[in-house]
């Protein structure tokens, strides 16, 4: 994928996160994907486990708007930095995140998510 393709892919993927669209999000991931974020440090394996996690996560969290910042192609995928405003208009805070994404075609096989709060 070119940088332009990666940027578009990343923007569409982050929009699905913003929309809390579990079906659309799971469509980005391979059936046997591996997913890590600060709440799943041991990781999740497989699309079914990811679907269950996202369903619970989205039910328990306020609105979150993800905004892409930069992407960098790497062998087999990309890294992407983004911002997330939590609550309507960011009233509950803001975080910056970074994803390591490995792809098989257009499906995510590995996603590692790193985040930190912003003042």
Q: Which of 43, 27, 47 is nearest to 35 (CA)?
A: 43
CATH of the domain at 52: 3.10.450.50
The total number of structural domains that make up the chain: 1
pLDDT tens track for 7-65: 999 999 999 999 999 999 999 999 999 999 999 979 999 999 999 999 999 999 999 99
pTM here is: 0.94
Helix (H) or strand (E) holding 103: strand 93-104
Beta-ladder partners of 82 = 68, 97
Domain range for 106: 3-118
């Amino acid at each position: 994928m070119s940088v332009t393709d990666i940027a578009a892919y990343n923007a569409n993927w982050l929009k699905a996160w913003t929309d809390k669209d579990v079906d659309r999000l799971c469509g980005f991931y391979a059936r046997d994907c591996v997913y890590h974020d600060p709440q799943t440090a041991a990781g999740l394996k497989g699309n079914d486990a990811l679907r269950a996690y996202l369903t619970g996560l989205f039910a328990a969290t306020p609105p979150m708007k993800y905004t892409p910042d930069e992407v960098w192609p790497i062998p087999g995928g990309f890294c992407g930095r983004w911002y997330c405003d939590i609550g309507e208009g960011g009233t509950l805070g803001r975080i910056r995140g970074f994803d390591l994404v490995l792809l098989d075609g257009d499906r995510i096989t590995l996603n590692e998510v790193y985040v930190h709060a912003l003042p």
